[in-house]
Amino acid sequence: RQGVVVITGASSGLGLAAAKALAETGKWHVVMACRDFLKAAKAAKGAGMAEGSYTIMHLDLASLDSVRQFVDNFRRAGMPLDSLVCNAAIYRPTARSPTFTADGYEMSVGVNHLGHFLLARLLLDDLQKSDYPSRRLIILGSITGNTNTLAGNIPPKAGLGDLRGLAGGLRGQNGSAMIDGSESFDGAKAYKDSKICNMLTMQELHRRYHEETGITFASLYPGCIATTGLFREHIPLFRLLFPPFQKFITKGFVSEAESGKRLAQVVSDPSLTKSGVYWSWNKDSASFENQLSQEASDPEKARKLWEISEKLVGLA
Beta bridge partners of 219: 139, 278
The 120-159 site mask, x for binding ligand NDP (CB under 6 A), equals --------------------x-x-----------------
The 193-232 site mask, x for binding ligand NDP (CB under 6 A), equals --x-------------------------xx-xx--xxx--
Report the residue number whose CB is nearest to ligand NDP: 13
Nearer to ligand NDP, 28 or 70 (CB): 70
- 91 is an active site residue: no
Nearest to 99 by CA among 153, 45, 171: 171
Measure the CA dihedral 106/108/109/110, to 10°: 60
Per DSSP, the residues of 119-144 read HHHHHHHHHHH---SS-EEEEE--GG
Q: Which of 7, 21, 88, 205 binds ligand NDP (CB under 6 A)?
A: 88
Q: Which of 27, 39, 129, 311 binds ligand NDP (CB under 6 A)?
A: 39
Cα gap 237→14, rounded to integer Å: 23
Nearest to 84 by CA among 166, 181, 15: 15
- Relative orientation angle of helices 299-312 and 187-205, to the nearest 10 degrees: 100
Q: Which of the following is catalytic: 54, 91, 105, 191?
A: 191
Residues annotated as catalytic are 191
Using CB under 6 A as the criterion, which residues of the chain lie in contact with ligand NDP when the complex forms? 8-9, 11-15, 34-36, 39, 59-62, 87-90, 111, 140, 142, 195, 221-222, 224-225, 228-230
